[in-house]
C-alpha cells in the first residue's frame, strides 16, 4: 500500500522517486535483515516469470514487420560526471561508449548524467514512421538527439520537469516521433539526468503499436485508479454514516497511495497538474507523508482502537502528527526533497514494524484483522524487494516488474478493506448487543419476572393504545381478578408451590382468551385481562363467566393438587369510562365488591360500585 519508500540497497543510497539519498548499504541490511531474503525471493519470482534481456551489441534494424523493438540490447553507455558534455563532445567520443553494467534496462541511483548511444538502420522498405519511447515517467531531464553522418538531424527535450504542453507527444511516458528516411543508418544519442532511479525501458514503436500500448496502459491505470477511488468513496461514506475513525484513516492511506501511483506512472502529470512544476516536485513527498500518516492512524486504530490509554496507540498517533508537521514544512520548502525522501524512506516502514507484534498476536488467536495485516505487509515487502531488484539491475525491467509495486499496493488496499469489513461486522454485532440489552431492560421494566406477563407499567401502555381504537361498536373490557384461597396454599405448601400456582394460573388465563387480548399481573395474586373489539356488553359478560368457569377445576402442581377460585370485576369502555385509570378503578371496585359479596363471581361496575372501593 505504501508506495512511497521504494528502497535501493545500492552503495549509492536509497531510492525514492525524484531524489537520491546517500546511505551505506551494510547498515540498511543490518537494520532490516528481512530485506535480503525478500529481495532474493523477488529475484526468484522474476527469474521464473520473465526471461532476462539478451545482451547484444549489433545495430538494430527497424523492420516495419516488427511493430515494437526493444532498444536497450543495442545501447552503449557513456557516463558524464561533470554534467557538461554536449552532443558534439559525445559524437567526438563515440569510442568511449561501453556496454551498460546491467543486463536490465536500469542504471540504479546516480547523481551524474549518462548518455546512451543506440545505432540503428532503417530498411529501404520501411515507411520511416517510428516513435521513440522511454516508459518511465519519473525521469527529470531527457535530451534526445537523432544523428546521421556525424551531424544532428533531430533534437527533442523530454522529462518530468519539462512543461507538459511542450512535449512532442502528449503522452504519459516520454515519447518523441522520429523523422527517419528509409535506407539510412542512424545513431540515437539520449542524455538522461534524474534525481531518482535511472529505470530506462527504451523502445522503438510503430505509431499504431505505440497507440495500442498507450491505450492498454491507460486502461490499466484507469482500472487501478478507479478501484482506488471506489474504495476511497466507500470509506468516506462509511465514515460519514458510522463515524468510525478507522474508515477515515483508511481514506487518508488510500489517498496518499493513489496520488503517489499517479505521480510515479505519469497519470497525474498528464491529467491533474500538467504544467505545475510545484506539484511535480512536491506531490510525491506530500503523497508519501499522507500515506504514512494514514498508515500510523489506520494500523493503530485497527490494533488498539479499543484501548485509548495504550502507549502503542499514543506512539502511533505521535507518528501521524510528525507526518503532518513534515508535510507542512515540505510544502513551504522548509525541508528539501532529498531530506524529506530520506525521512520518508525510514519513517514509512515504522507503522508496519510497530504493528507486526500486535498483528501476530491477533493472528495467533484466529483474529482476521491480524491475519489480513500480516498478509498485506508480506505482499508489500515482496513488492519492495522486487523494486530493489529492478533498481539494482538484478531483476529485468518489464511490465510486471515495473508495475509490481502498484499491484502490491492494490492488494494491500483490498486486504485493508477486509479489515474495514471485519470492523463493520464488529460494529453491527455491537449494535445488536446494544439493542438486545435495551430490549431486555425494556422487558424488565414492563414485564413481571415470574410469569412473563406485562406488569402495571406494561398494562398501562397497552391499555392506552387500545383505548385510542375503541368506540361504540368496538367495546373494550378490562377485568380485574383476584384468586380465592391463594394465601392458604402459599402458607401450607410454601412459596415455591405458590409461584408454580401463579404460573399455572397465567397459562390457564391465556388459554381462555384470544391471542390479541392482554393478560397482565399487577402483583401478588391479582391479575388483569384486557380484551377489545367486543360488539356488545353481553359478550363482555360472557367472557367473564367463561374465565370464572375455567377455575372450577383444580390445578395439578407435580404431586400436589390445589383448588383456587376467582373473583372478577370489570368495566367497559367507552360506556363506563374512557380513561385507563378510571377503567381500572371501576373494575377493581367491582372485584372488591364481589369479594365482600361471597367471592367466585363476576361483577360489572358501571359507576354505581365506585364508592364501595373507597
The residue among 184, 210, 236 that closes a domain is 210
Residues 43 and 82 in one domain: no
Distance of CA 285 to the CA centre of its chain: 23
Task: Domain of residue 179: give its range.
Answer: 60-210
The helix/strand/coil state of 258 is helix
Residue 556, all three cell numbers: 395439578
Indicate the number of domains in the chain.
3
Residue 609, all three cell numbers: 360500585
Residue 403 lies in a domain: yes
pLDDT 10s digits, 515-533: 889 999 988 899 999 999 8
Q: How far is CA 609 from CA 207, 366, 455, 592, 593, in A?
A: 106, 70, 25, 9, 7
Residues 394 and 475 in one domain: no
Residues 341 and 324 in one domain: yes
Which pLDDT value is given to residue 523?
86
CATH of residue 292's domain is 1.20.1070
Nearest by Cα to 333 from 264, 291, 286, 292: 286
Q: Is 424 exposed, middle or buried (0-12, 13-18, 19+ CB in 10 A)?
A: middle
Residues 421 and 474 in one domain: no
Nearest by Cα to 605 from 479, 484, 467, 473: 479
How many other CB atoms are found less than 10 A from the CB of residue 252? 22
Residue 437 lies in a domain: no
Residue 366 lies in a domain: yes
Residues 116 and 224 in one domain: no
Which pLDDT value is given to residue 28?
36
Residues 127 and 269 in one domain: no
Residues 45 and 65 in one domain: no
Residue 414 lies in a domain: yes
Residue 448 lies in a domain: no
The helix/strand/coil state of 604 is strand
Residue 326 lies in a domain: yes
Residues 97 and 238 in one domain: no
Where the chain has pLDDT below 50, the residues are: 1-35, 38-39, 42-56, 611-614
Q: Tell how strand 560-562 and strand 555-557 pair up.
A: antiparallel
Residues 231 and 379 in one domain: yes
Nearest by Cα to 454 from 504, 507, 522: 522
Which residue's C-alpha cell is 407435580? 558
Which pLDDT value is given to residue 36?
52
Buried b (16+ CB within 10 A) or exposed e, 546-556: ebbeebeeebe
Which pLDDT value is given to residue 447?
86
Residue 290 lies in a domain: yes
Residues 428 and 522 in one domain: no
Q: Is 219 exposed, middle or buried (0-12, 13-18, 19+ CB in 10 A)?
A: exposed
User: Residue 198 belongs to what H/E stretch?
Assistant: strand 197-199
404-446 vs 368-392: helix crossing angle, rounded to 10: 170
**Could you check whether the bond before residue 574 is cis, i.e. omega within 30 degrees of 0?**
yes
Which residue's C-alpha cell is 406485562? 454
Q: What HEC string does 131-163 produce?
A: EEEECCCCCCEEEEEEEECCEEEEEEEECCCCC
Amino acid at each position: 500500500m505504501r508506495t512511497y519508500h521504494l528502497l535501493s540497497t545500492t552503495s549509492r543510497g536509497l531510492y525514492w522517486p525524484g531524489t537520491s539519498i546517500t546511505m551505506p548499504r551494510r547498515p540498511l541490511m543490518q537494520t532490516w535483515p528481512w530485506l535480503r531474503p525478500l529481495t532474493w525471493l523477488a529475484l526468484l519470482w522474476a527469474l521464473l516469470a520473465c526471461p532476462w534481456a539478451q545482451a547484444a551489441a549489433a545495430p538494430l534494424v527497424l523492420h516495419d514487420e516488427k511493430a515494437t523493438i526493444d532498444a536497450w540490447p543495442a545501447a552503449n553507455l557513456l557516463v558524464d560526471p561533470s554534467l557538461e558534455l554536449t552532443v558534439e563532445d559525445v559524437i567526438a567520443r563515440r569510442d568511449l561508449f561501453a556496454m551498460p553494467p546491467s543486463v536490465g534496462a536500469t542504471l540504479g541511483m546516480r547523481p551524474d548524467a549518462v548518455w546512451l548511444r543506440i545505432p540503428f538502420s532503417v530498411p529501404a522498405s520501411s515507411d520511416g514512421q517510428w516513435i521513440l519511447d522511454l516508459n518511465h515517467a519519473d525521469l527529470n531531464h531527457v535530451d534526445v538527439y537523432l544523428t546521421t553522418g556525424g551531424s544532428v538531424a533531430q533534437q527533442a527535450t523530454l522529462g518530468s520537469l519539462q512543461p507538459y504542453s511542450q512535449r512532442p507527444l502528449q503522452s504519459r511516458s516520454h515519447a518523441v516521433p522520429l523523422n527517419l528516411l528509409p535506407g539510412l543508418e542512424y545513431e540515437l544519442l539520449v542524455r538522461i539526468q534524474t534525481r531518482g532511479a535511472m529505470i530506462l525501458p527504451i523502445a522503438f514503436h510503430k505509431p499504431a503499436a505505440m497507440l495500442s500500448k498507450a491505450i492498454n496502459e491507460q486502461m490499466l491505470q484507469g482500472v487501478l485508479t478507479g478501484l482506488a477511488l471506489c474504495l476511497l468513496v466507500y470509506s468516506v461514506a462509511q465514515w460519514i454514516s458510522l463515524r468510525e475513525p478507522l474508515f477515515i484513516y483508511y481514506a487518508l492511506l488510500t489517498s496518499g497511495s493513489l496520488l503517489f501511483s499517479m505521480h510515479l506512472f505519469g497519470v497525474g502529470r498528464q491529467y491533474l497538474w500538467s504544467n505545475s512544476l510545484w506539484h511535480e516536485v512536491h506531490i510525491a513527498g506530500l503523497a508519501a507523508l499522507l500515506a504514512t500518516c494514514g498508515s500510523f492512524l489506520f494500523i493503530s486504530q485497527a490494533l488498539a482502537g479499543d484501548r485509548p490509554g495504550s502507549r502503542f496507540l499514543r506512539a502511533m498517533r505521535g507518528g501521524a502528527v510528525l507526518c503532518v508537521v513534515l508535510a507542512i514544512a515540505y510544502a513551504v520548502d522548509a525541508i528539501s526533497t532529498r531530506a524529506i525522501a530520506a525521512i520518508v524512506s525510514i519513517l514509512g516502514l515504522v507503522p508496519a514494524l510497530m504493528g507486526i507484534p500486535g498483528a501476530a498476536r491477533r493472528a495467533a488467536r484466529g483474529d482476521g484483522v491480524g491475519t489480513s495485516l500480516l498478509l498485506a505487509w508480506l505482499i508489500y515487502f515482496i513488492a519492495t524487494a522486487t523494486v530493489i531488484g529492478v533498481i539494482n539491475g538484478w531483476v529485468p525491467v518489464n511490465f510486471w516488474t515495473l508495475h509490481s509495486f502498484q499491484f502490491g499496493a492494490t492488494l494491500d488496499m483490498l486486504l485493508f478493506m477486509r479489515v474495514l469489513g471485519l470492523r463493520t461486522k464488529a460494529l453491527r454485532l455491537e449494535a445488536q448487543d446494544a439493542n438486545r440489552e435495551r430490549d431486555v431492560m425494556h422487558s424488565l421494566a414492563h414485564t413481571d419476572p415470574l410469569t412473563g406477563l406485562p406488569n402495571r407499567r406494561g398494562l398501562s401502555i397497552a391499555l392506552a393504545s387500545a383505548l385510542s381504537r375503541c368506540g361504540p361498536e368496538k367495546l373494550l373490557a378490562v377485568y380485574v381478578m383476584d384468586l380465592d384461597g391463594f394465601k392458604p396454599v402459599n402458607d401450607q405448601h410454601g412459596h415455591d408451590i405458590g409461584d408454580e400456582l401463579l404460573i399455572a394460573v397465567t397459562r390457564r388465563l391465556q388459554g381462555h382468551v384470544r391471542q390479541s387480548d392482554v393478560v397482565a399481573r399487577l402483583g401478588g395474586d391479582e391479575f388483569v385481562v384486557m380484551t377489545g373489539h367486543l360488539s356488545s356488553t353481553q359478550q363482555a359478560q360472557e367472557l367473564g363467566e367463561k374465565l370464572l368457569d375455567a377455575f372450577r377445576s383444580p390445578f395439578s402442581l407435580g404431586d400436589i393438587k390445589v383448588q383456587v377460585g376467582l373473583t372478577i370485576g370489570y368495566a367497559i369502555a367507552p360506556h363506563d369510562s374512557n380513561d385507563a385509570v378510571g377503567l381500572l378503578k371501576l373494575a377493581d371496585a367491582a372485584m372488591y365488591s364481589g369479594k365482600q359479596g361471597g367471592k367466585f363471581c363476576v361483577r360489572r361496575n358501571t359507576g354505581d360500585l365506585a364508592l364501595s372501593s373507597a
